[in-house]
């Protein structure tokens, strides 16, 4: 869909009211104004559930825009980042105890104030999402939306063949039962193993507590995915802006 999948640059226009739809689409990276006019003409754009027409004006801060069926975030004030949190870093923007925190890795890359979506404990590493879109952040964290999170864990081995079935059936913890959506053994080396599991729980230390309960305590934990967003080859301590397609996929994951 978009010609340029990056989120708009910091100098992208900040709107103060309704603007022509093709201008808003172009500023959001969909394509040239002419290309955006063609999408509107071919009825590929909807605004607030209605098929858009040439000449329409929209307020990017409030309009719900879809292009080819995918949600487009047209408000250029909103920022969506993926970060590979290193081990030893606390999941807060700043820490009153002086420990290394998330903001220490952003420096001057982001002018807007962003917040982390969920947490990873200090001993864990991997994917965190950072945004100033409070509505989307809330939906991603709320268990009722069922957004899966995937983890790669180093645990004590060997792994019994029925472990995946046990975890899928549910394990009772002190604060209630928990079950996984997917589980597989990635590698097994006798007394240690690598396992991957996905679940939509968000309780504190849930993965570590779950695996410890079944006799396989975690020595290393890396979150590799949140819904459709994957960690990929993003280096430890680095951030990147989500593409328009990734932001659209996040909206789809929460049913928007």
Strands 229-230 and 218-226: antiparallel
Catalytic residues: 121
Please give the structure tokens belonging to residue 194. 């690598």
Rounded Cα gap, residues 132 and 79, in angstroms: 6
Count of residues making up the chain: 256
Question: Position of tokens 């040239």?
Answer: 32
252: enclosing H helix or E strand: helix 244-253
186: three-class secondary structure by DSSP: strand
Residue partners of 35: CB distance under 8 A and separation at least 6: 3, 26
């Amino acid at each position: 869909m978009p010609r340029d999948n990056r989120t708009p640059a910091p100098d992208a226009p900040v709107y103060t009211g309704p603007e022509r739809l093709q201008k808003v689409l172009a500023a959001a990276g969909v394509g040239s104004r002419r290309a955006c006019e063609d999408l509107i003409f071919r009825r590929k754009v909807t605004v607030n559930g209605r098929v858009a027409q040439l000449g329409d004006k929209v307020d990017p801060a409030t309009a719900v825009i879809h292009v080819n069926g995918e949600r487009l975030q047209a408000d250029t004030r909103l920022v969506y980042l993926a970060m590979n949190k290193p081990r030893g870093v606390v999941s807060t923007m700043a820490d009153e105890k002086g420990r290394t925190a998330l903001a220490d890795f952003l420096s001057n890359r982001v002018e807007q104030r962003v917040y982390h979506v969920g947490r990873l404990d200090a001993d864990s590493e991997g994917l965190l999402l950072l945004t100033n879109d409070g509505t989307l952040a809330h939906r991603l964290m709320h268990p009722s939306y069922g957004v899966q999170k995937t983890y790669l864990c180093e645990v004590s081995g060997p792994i019994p063949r029925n472990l995946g079935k046990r975890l899928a059936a549910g394990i009772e913890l002190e604060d209630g039962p928990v079950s996984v959506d997917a589980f597989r053994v990635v590698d097994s080396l006798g007394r240690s193993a690598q396992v991957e599991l996905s679940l939509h729980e968000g309780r504190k230390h849930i993965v570590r507590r779950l695996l410890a309960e079944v006799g396989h305590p975690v020595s290393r934990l890396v979150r590799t995915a949140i819904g459709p967003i994957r960690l990929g080859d993003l280096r430890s301590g680095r951030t990147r802006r989500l593409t328009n397609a990734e932001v659209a996929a996040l909206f789809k994951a929460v049913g928007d």
